Chain A
Amino acid sequence: MAGTGTPLLSAAGLLEEKRAGGGLLRDPVVLVSTGIIVLLVVIAVFAPFIATANPDSSNILAVNEAPSAAHLLGTDSLGRDLFSRLVYGARLSLLGPALIVCISSAAGTVLALAAAWFGGFFDQMVSRAADVLFAFPGIIFAIVAVSVFGRGLVAPVIALAIAATPYVLRVTRSVALRQRRLPYVAACYVEGVPAWRIGLRHLLPNVAPIILVQATLAFGYALVTLAAISYLGLGVQPPSATWGLMVATGQAAILGGHPEQSLYAGVMIVLAVVAFNLLGNRLAAHLET
């Protein structure tokens, strides 16, 4: 098994192993979905350089305009440049899910490793707590959080992160438990390696691939849920742009014969979610083989 691949991907542990089979980098689905994700991230990061106008400045004299050289995708009902709003919208639309995935992956992984290591009462407690959280759909959790802590990005993100943690926990725990029973962990224990070090230096690297797959799939789910919350007007408030919010504000124009205003943002949401889900599915498939 000659593993001479790009060092670029070796950081992501998972890929390093699968490179050998040569599958991952030659998988068109992986390449396309990764390309889309990278493109979206680039758009979000370099929004000021890509946008052609101030996304928040309205112009009563140029309402619901059709695409033109001045407004690549036209303007919305307040005369704001749709293309620029779409570009700037990528920022908060992607930041939210990224935060949710980071928080829930970190919390879920730490709890899962601790549960797998200590077992017994602690494991029982953590697993039962996760079962309780499973009973609440994430979006309900987020709506409750918003009603208590107010609208904006923070409350729904924290609520959805908490709601997503049990999913990370359950999968990671089962993988970590399997690893924990392998003799190499026993060997470390007999060698006198401190527990935290076994968890961090031995268990974590060996469960990392599955966490990565989970995070990728969770990202799509978090994005669409946050978009829904934005759409309901519970998330980020106008005039800030997110794709979910743009779908909502574009609705008024649908009856006026301008369905594209909602459509653009909708397409972006679908594109991002599909890209993350496809990538996650392919990673999972490669992980199994």
Chain B
Amino acid sequence: MADRPVGLREPGPPPALEVEHLVKVFPGPRSAGGFLAVDDVSFCVPQGRSLAVVGESGSGKTTLARMIVGLERPSAGRIAVAGSARSWRRVSSAERKRRAREVQIVFQDPYSSLDPRQSVRRCIEEALVLHFDLDRAGRTARVEELLEQVRLDRRHADSLPKRLSGGQRQRVAIARALACAPKVVICDEAVASLDVSIQAQVLNLMSDIRNETGVSYLFISHDLAVVRQVSDDIVVMRRGRIVEAGPADRVLDAPEHPYTRRLLAAIPRPGWRPAPSQEEVGTSS
């Protein structure tokens, strides 16, 4: 069901990110065949659009994100960024650097995703030095521009991460990702560990950034409230497979698949009572 890529593939610019029949099998038991984490997943993210991959923990969505950024090697399938497909051979340092300008990632845990011994400035500069031929003044200006873009006060530039709050750290992580000027930014539960009010701020920030830079987003999330706020399209994953896909409004307001309905039913709202558990209902809040 719904295996078709989300978003129409119109003639014109190729999609920012295209994933076709992606499979990941982790070696190991489950009757010796290994664990099938991602099973024949296809979707595409047009340029400047935002797609959310939704599912409970263990649905394979993080593995999917790790494959797209090159932290995990797919067992089969195709990933193409801006029309050019990637090979699965061991990548050279230069190829890794080239890919860095295509896809960047923001991780869930803001406390461990920044080097504790690196100041905000040095963290962002590291990416700039790697990817752009800027002189010192140019770099400084660009760092300030990026901090401005993530609404982080300039006085934090020389702080170490431990002096920053979770929300501030996540802004640094976003600035670091943007420093590479990628076409796609993957947010792997990027706001899940933040307070709800901070979540809203960061999500607004990200949508502003999209308007300013035209970057595409791939949101990996279990939180449907977050998803509604940030995504144009939604892909629902369960046990490594896509069970439903479509425009965000349609999927959230008129879900077709029972699993999606259960996920939606699990969102707390006024008068909400926990649903009686049948099977393993989505436990994510």
Spell out A's residues near B (CB within 8 Å). 1, 13, 182-184, 186-195, 201-202, 205-206
Contact = CB atoms under 8 A, between A and B. Distances in A.
A4 to B, nearest CB: 13
Interface residues of B, number: 32
B107 A183 contact: yes
Nearest 7 CB-CB pairs, A to B? A192-B100, A192-B97, A183-B113, A183-B107, A182-B112, A205-B117, A190-B69
Nearest to A206: B117
B96 A192 contact: yes
Interface string B82-101: 00000000000100111111
Contacts of A188: 115, 126
12 contacts: A182-B112, A186-B107, A187-B176, A188-B115, A188-B126, A190-B71, A190-B100, A190-B105, A191-B126, A193-B126, A195-B93, A202-B117
Contact of A186 (B71, B98, B127, B131): B71
Contacts of B257: none
A205 B71 CA distance: 23
Contacts of B53: none
A202 B115 contact: yes
B105 A187 contact: yes
Contact of B130 (A193, A202, A206): A193
A72 B164 CA distance: 59
Nearest to A181: B112
B142 to A, nearest CB: 15
Contacts, number: 67
A189 B114 contact: no
B163 A1 contact: yes
Given A190-B70, A192-B131, A184 B180 contact: no
B173 interface: yes
Nearest to A194: B93
Nearest to A195: B93
Contacts of B229: none
B9 interface: no
A172 B112 CA distance: 19
Contact of B180 (A13, A183, A192): A192
A191 B104 contact: yes
Contacts of A201: 126
Contacts of B250: none
Contacts of A182: 112-113
Contact of B115 (A189, A192, A195, A206): A206
B162 A187 contact: no
B109 interface: yes
B126 A183 contact: no
A171 to B, nearest CB: 19
Contacts of B165: none
A97 B117 CA distance: 30
B204 interface: no
A221 to B, nearest CB: 29
A202 B70 CA distance: 20
Contacts of B116: 184, 206
B71 A189 contact: yes
Nearest to B97: A192
B162 A183 contact: no
B107 A191 contact: no
B193 to A, nearest CB: 12
Contacts of B99: 192
A191 B130 contact: yes
A191 B113 contact: no
Interface string B150-191: 000000000000110000000001001000100000000000
Contacts of A183: 107-109, 112-113
B173 A187 contact: yes
Nearest to B69: A190
